[in-house]
């Protein structure tokens, strides 16, 4: 029941864009374009550094306006697969502005948030447009803390079920 | 907005569960409803501190307080635990909003940027 915190695909979203594959590829790999759409509602992307090659790193800053002023969040990661106009896979973790990974605990978040997630983007031509499949997976295995957390939740959950 | 509320709730749930005492309180409540005094018994913790923990659990929707008498017994509500299990689903609306923005941005790019984006 709690295994959604495990390693299987967490979110899979399919979307069709009225734009050619190479332009969609740029949306993900060219910081100029990426900044225009990536920030969630109310957030902006003041900086995005991307070394789009296998083993290359990425560092994205997200800026959110809060009642207490501007808050910056940094996300870092590594490119795992780079197949131009086909497939892009990278990891994502919260970090400081130098790309040093911060544990969710250090960021003031409860231990349960996976330290690292994996974003997989697969694109293919669909008529004059592009079909994209996005898979966003939590990989708590990489983090002893998160794995422990998952065990704690599933233990608690089993315990609660058993007592009812 | 529903999404923001859901996100907040999920944060509350994680925060509530990230504490040994609170997990122990939940485990005790899984055996049945209890008053604050009963919940405090096994702990070497002052009553107000226990009350604080219970408030956190209440805010996270994990504990409901009865209206009966002045004891207001606490009971477990396990529903938020299921939401935690599907934390990743919380990303879905975020991504969908992003892709809608990408759609708009693409339209803007592909039309003549000089004429204000209208065809």
Residues B42 and B95 in one domain: no
Among all residues of chain B, which has the CA nearest to that of A10?
Answer: B88
The answer on B35 and B7 residing in a single domain is: yes
Q: State whether B31 and B46 are in the same domain.
A: yes
Q: Is A2 on the interface with B (CB under 8 A)?
A: yes
ipTM of model over 0.85: no
Has residue A109 been placed in a domain?
yes
Largest distance between two CA atoms of chain A: 57
Residues of chain A neighbouring B81 (CB-CB closer than 8 A): 2, 153, 156-157, 160
| Alpha-carbon span B89 to B94, nearest angstrom | 10
Under 8 Å between Cβ of A137 and B91 = no
User: CB contact, 8 Å: A113 with chain B?
Assistant: yes
CB–CB contact A110 B27 (8 Å): no
Structure token digits, residue B24: 């122990």
HEC per residue, A101-132? ECCCCCCCCCCCCCCEEEEEEEEEEECCEEEE
Considering the domain boundaries, does residue A78 fall inside one?
A: yes
Owning domain of residue B92? 86-119
Banded model confidence at residue B45, pLDDT cuts 50, 70, 90: confident
Nearest to B105 among A37, A40, A163 (CB): A37
User: Which residue among B31, B81, B106 places its CB closest to the CB of A157?
Assistant: B81
Question: Mapping DSSP to helix (H, G, I), strand (E, B) and coil, where does residue A100 land?
Answer: coil
Q: How many residue pairs from chains A and B have C-beta atoms closer than 8 A?
A: 108
Which residues, in sequence order, are CB contacts of B30 under 8 Å at separation 6+?
A159, A160, A163, A164, B76
B75 plus B99 within the same structural domain: no
Does the beta-carbon distance from A2 to B110 stay under 8 Å? no
Confirm if A92 and A75 have CB atoms less than 8 A apart. Answer: yes
DSSP assignments along B49-94, one per residue: HHHHHHHHHHHTTSEEE--STTT--EEE--HHHHHHHTGGGGHHHH
Using CB atoms within 10 A of its CB, is residue A33 exposed (0-12), middle (13-18) or buried (19+)?
A: buried
Structural contact between residues A60 and A46, judged by C-beta atoms closer than 8 angstroms:
no
| Same-domain check for residues B50 and B20 | yes
Clarify whether residues B80 and B92 are in a common domain. no
B119 and B63, same domain (yes or no): no
Number of domains in chain B: 2
Q: Does pTM surpass 0.80?
A: no
Residues B73 and B26 reside in one and the same domain: yes
- The sheet with strand A11-17 has its strands ordered as A11-17, A129-138, A116-126, A87-95, A69-83, A57-66, A43-50
Buried b (16+ CB within 10 A) or exposed e, A130-142: bbbebebbbbbeb
Task: Please tell me which residue, B81 or B20, carries the higher pLDDT value.
Answer: B20
Residue A115 in domain: yes
Same structural domain, B52 and B34: yes
Assign residue A57 the CATH number of its domain: 3.30.530.20
Q: What is the pLDDT of residue A144?
A: 42
Same domain, yes or no, for B49 and B104? no
If asked whether residues B75 and B91 sit together in one domain, one would say no
User: Across the strands, what pairs with A61?
Assistant: A47, A74
User: At what angle are helices A21-29 and B91-110 packed, to 10 degrees?
Assistant: 120
Neighbour tally for A45: CB within 10 Å:
17
Structural domain range at position A108 = 10-139
Please, what is the angle between helix B20-29 and helix A144-163, to 10°?
A: 20
Nearest to A73 by CA among A45, A53, A51: A45
Shared-domain flag, residues B29 and B48: yes
- Whichever domain contains B69, its CATH number is 1.10.10.10
Q: What is the pLDDT along chain A (164 residues), one digit of tens a residue?
A: 333 444 444 778 899 999 999 999 999 999 999 999 998 777 889 999 999 999 999 999 999 887 788 889 899 999 999 999 999 999 998 899 999 988 766 765 555 567 788 899 999 999 999 999 998 887 544 444 444 444 444 555 555 555 54
Within 57-86 of B, beta carbons closer than 8 Å to A belong to: 76, 78, 81-82, 84-86
B89 to A110: CB separation less than 8 angstroms, yes or no: no
Number of structural domains found in chain A: 1
Q: Phi and psi for A129 in degrees, rounded to 5?
A: -110, -160
Joined tokens for residue A102 = 């911060």
């Amino acid at each position: 029941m709690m295994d959604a915190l495990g390693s299987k695909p967490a979110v899979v979203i399919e979307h069709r864009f009225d734009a050619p594959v190479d332009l969609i590829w740029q949306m993900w790999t060219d910081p100029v374009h990426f900044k225009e759409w990536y920030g969630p509602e109310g957030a902006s992307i003041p900086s995005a550094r991307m070394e789009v090659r296998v083993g290359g790193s990425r560092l994205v800053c997200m800026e959110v306006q809060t009642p207490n002023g501007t808050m910056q969040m940094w996300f870092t990661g590594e490119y795992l697969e780079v197949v131009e106009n086909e497939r892009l896979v990278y990891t994502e973790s919260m970090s400081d502005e130098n790309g040093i990974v911060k544990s969710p605990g250090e960021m003031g978040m409860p231990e349960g948030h996976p330290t690292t997630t994996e974003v997989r983007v697969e694109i293919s031509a669909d008529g004059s447009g592009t079909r994209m499949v996005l898979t966003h997976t939590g990989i708590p295995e990489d983090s002893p803390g998160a794995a422990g957390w998952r065990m704690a939740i599933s233990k608690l959950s089993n315990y609660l079920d058993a007592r009812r | 907005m529903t999404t923001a509320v859901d996100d907040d709730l999920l944060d509350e749930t994680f925060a509530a569960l990230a504490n040994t005492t609170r997990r122990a309180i939940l485990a005790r409540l899984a055996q049945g409803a209890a008053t604050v005094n009963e919940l405090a018994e096994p702990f070497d913790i002052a009553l107000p501190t226990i009350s604080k923990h219970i408030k956190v659990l209440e805010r996270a929707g994990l504990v409901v307080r009865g209206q009966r008498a002045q004891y207001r017994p606490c009971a477990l509500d396990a529903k938020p635990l299921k939401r935690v299990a599907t934390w990743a689903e919380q990303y879905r609306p975020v991504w969908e909003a992003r892709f809608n923005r990408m759609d708009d941005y693409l339209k803007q790019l592909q039309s003549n940027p000089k004429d204000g984006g209208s065809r």
